[in-house]
Amino acid sequence: MCAFRELDNQSRIQEAARLFREARYAVALTGAGISVPSGIPDFRSPGSGLWEKYDPMEVASLGSFLAHPERFYDWIRPLLSVTRAAQPNPAHVALTHLQEMGLLNEIITQNIDGLHEAAGSRDVLAVHGHTRTATCVQCGQKMSAEPVWEAVERGEVPHCACGGVLKPDVVLFGELLPHDVMERAQRAAARADLMLVAGSSLEVVPAADLPLLTLAGGGRLIIVNKGPTQLDHRATLKIEGDVAEVLPAIVGVLRQPA
């Protein structure tokens, strides 16, 4: 059972602040839910999740991309303008403030949108890759992804000078996570005595298993999410709510005299 289930949200926010003050090494794990207030749709919410409209294995798997890259780019094209225009929201900014206060170390994110970096956060570990660069599937050349997205917006499948298709450096289904980034994330999670999970349903492994490393080391878990996660019963604190409201509220309490 969650240790603080009986508390109202304001009391939980106070309790979250206390846990941050007590922590020696805190990290955060963020998912799609932290970017929803910035206008970027998530994948699994009923009625709005992207996977309610598309089969991920048909549009966003590595095998599908290699066989039919046009399907991937047709799928991502409508999202492109939304993602590229998105700005950090108060939840992203709150995590940056926690880092500036010396209360938060690495931010491990399942998101590819770069909004943590845009908010000024440091030590961001994007375990599912990012959209800043792209790689040719034929010759392996890596380059800035800006020409890729310009081609996609024109309705084209982007190609390298060698003729190969360019793939953004995001992790597709059936593709390995970047080894060095995932290794750093695992070390951070294992070292942490407090992990904040923000806006993640904890359904996509192996990233969703990172809180287990913190728990295995005797660390505590704070979960802020709309809807249940598979680790609610093991969390020291679960706050059901909008991350763009809850995280700034926690920062607000921490800025008050202890």
Active-site annotation holder among 97, 128, 130, 233 = 128
- CATH 3.40.50.1220 in the chain, residue ranges: 1-40+88-128+177-258
pLDDT in tens, 224-249: 999 999 999 999 999 999 999 999 99
The CATH code that applies to domain 42-85+130-170 is 3.30.1600.10
Contact 164, 139 (CB under 8 A): yes
Q: Locate the DSSP E strands across the chain.
A: 26-30, 107-109, 124-126, 129-136, 142-144, 166-170, 194-198, 220-225, 237-240
Phi, psi dihedrals of residue 87, rounded to the nearest 5°: -120, 155
Question: Average pLDDT in the 88-97 region?
Answer: 98
What is the average pLDDT score of the chain? Answer: 90
pLDDT at 4 over 60: no
Give the tens place of pLDDT for each residue, 107-151.
999 999 999 999 999 999 999 999 889 999 999 999 999 989 999
Mean pLDDT to the nearest integer, 31-59: 69
Query: What are residue 168's phi and psi, to 5 degrees?
Result: -60, 150
pLDDT at residue 43, as a whole number:
58
Measured in residues, the chain has a length of: 258
Strands 124-126 and 194-198, bridge-based pairing: unpaired
The answer to whether residue 233 is catalytic is no
The partner residues of 29 in beta bridges, in order of sequence, read 108, 197
Residue type for position 101: M
159 within 8 A of 135, measured Cβ to Cβ: no
Could you report the per-residue pLDDT of 170-210, keeping only the tens digit for each?
A: 999 888 899 999 999 999 999 999 999 999 999 888 899 99
- Quickly tell me which residue has 């996660």 as its tokens: 229
Mean predicted confidence (pLDDT) in 89-115 = 97
3-state secondary structure of 159: strand
**Helix (H, G, I), strand (E, B), or coil: what is residue 130?**
strand
Burial of 109 (0-12, 13-18, 19+ CB in 10 A): buried
Question: For 1-40+88-128+177-258, CATH number?
Answer: 3.40.50.1220
Q: pLDDT tier at 56 (50, 70, 90 boundaries)?
A: low
pLDDT tops 60 at residue 50:
no
CATH 3.30.1600.10 residue spans of the chain: 42-85+130-170
Please say if the pLDDT value at position 168 is more than 90: yes
